[in-house]
């Protein structure tokens, strides 16, 4: 059995030179300093292997059960206006109002993997093994990326007259974009695989 816990904090002023992440104010790079998109405050991983010895009865001997549990804190994303809100002819990096980078908090990650195997000895050097594996056993929806295009130059509940705002939006944070805050990419759902392995 192994247990692993990591406590961390990631800060940066832009993770890479991608054009999408050009600072809003190139004269004030310090204003871009924020929690990193790669920041994961807590991460726990536990794995264990259980086996039945060859001395057990024929029905229960030579089984092996393995499991991996992974738990991770939410990652962070930047809230974008979705158009050229500040009039600099470059709209893909414009944030909502004066919002700092990476203030959209995603979901935590939870996944449990399981592996069950049983081996049969054919002779001294040959072994046949049957394997069944399940990834994300509980079929948890783990979101990898979110749609963080707000759709207005400022938060509408705070500034209803801001460009892009519509009256009485019931979307997340009053966004005029109904897709705002919805999953854009997810990790794999439950997957299963079966195998037979011959060792000689």
Structural domain of 193: 2-199
Angle at 47 between CA 188 and CA 143, to 5 degrees: 25
Could you tell me the two tokens for 67? 């499991």
What tens-digit pLDDT sequence spans the chain (200 residues)? 999 999 999 998 876 555 455 666 667 777 788 999 889 999 999 999 999 998 899 899 999 999 999 999 999 999 999 998 888 787 778 899 989 889 999 999 999 999 999 999 888 899 999 999 999 999 999 999 999 999 999 999 999 999 999 988 899 999 999 999 999 999 999 999 999 999 99
**What distance in Å separates the CA atoms of residue 130 and residue 109, rounded to the nearest whole number?**
30
Of 24, 11, 164, 181, whose CA–CA distance to 105 is shortest? Answer: 181
Q: Which of 134, 132, 140 is nearest to 189 (CA)?
A: 140
Q: What is the pLDDT of residues 71-82, one digit of tens each?
A: 999 999 999 999
Structure tokens at 193: 């695989």
Given a contact cutoff of 8 angstroms between Cβ atoms, the answer to whether 197 and 128 are in contact is: yes
Distance CA 177, CA 24 (A): 22
Cα 131 to Cα 83: distance, rounded to the nearest angstrom: 52
- Provide the strand spans (E) within 8-81: 11-12, 34-35, 42-51, 63-72, 76-77
Share of the chain above pLDDT 70, in %: 94
pLDDT in tens, 47-73: 999 999 988 998 999 999 999 999 999
Tokens of 37: 């998109």
CA distance 176 to 159: 13
pLDDT digits (tens, 9 = 90+) for 95-112: 999 898 899 999 999 999
Give the count of beta carbons closer than 10 Å to the beta carbon of residue 28.
9
78/94 Cα distance (integer angstroms): 10
Query: How many domains does the chain divide into?
Result: 1
Structure tokens at 34: 């924020």
């Amino acid at each position: 059995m192994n247990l692993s816990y990591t406590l961390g904090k990631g800060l940066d002023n832009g993770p890479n030179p991608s054009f999408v992440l050009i600072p809003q104010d190139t004269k004030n790079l310090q204003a871009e300093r924020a929690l990193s998109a790669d920041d994961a405050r807590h991460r726990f991983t536990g794995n264990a292997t259980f086996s039945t010895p060859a001395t057990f009865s024929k029905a229960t001997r030579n089984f092996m059960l393995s499991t991996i549990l992974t738990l991770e804190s939410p990652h962070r994303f930047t809230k974008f206006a979705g158009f050229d809100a500040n009039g600099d002819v470059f709209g893909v990096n414009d944030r909502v109002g004066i919002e700092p980078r990476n203030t959209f908090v995603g979901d935590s990650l939870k996944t449990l993997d399981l592996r069950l195997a049983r081996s049969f000895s054919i002779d001294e050097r040959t072994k046949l093994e049957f394997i069944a594996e399940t990834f994300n056993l509980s079929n948890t929806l783990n979101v990898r990326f979110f749609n963080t295009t707000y759709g207005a130059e400022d938060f509408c509940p705070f500034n209803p007259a801001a460009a892009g705002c519509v009256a009485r939006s019931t979307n997340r944070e009053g966004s005029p974009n109904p897709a705002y805050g919805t999953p854009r990419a997810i990790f794999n759902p439950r997957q299963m695989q079966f195998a037979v392995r011959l060792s000689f």
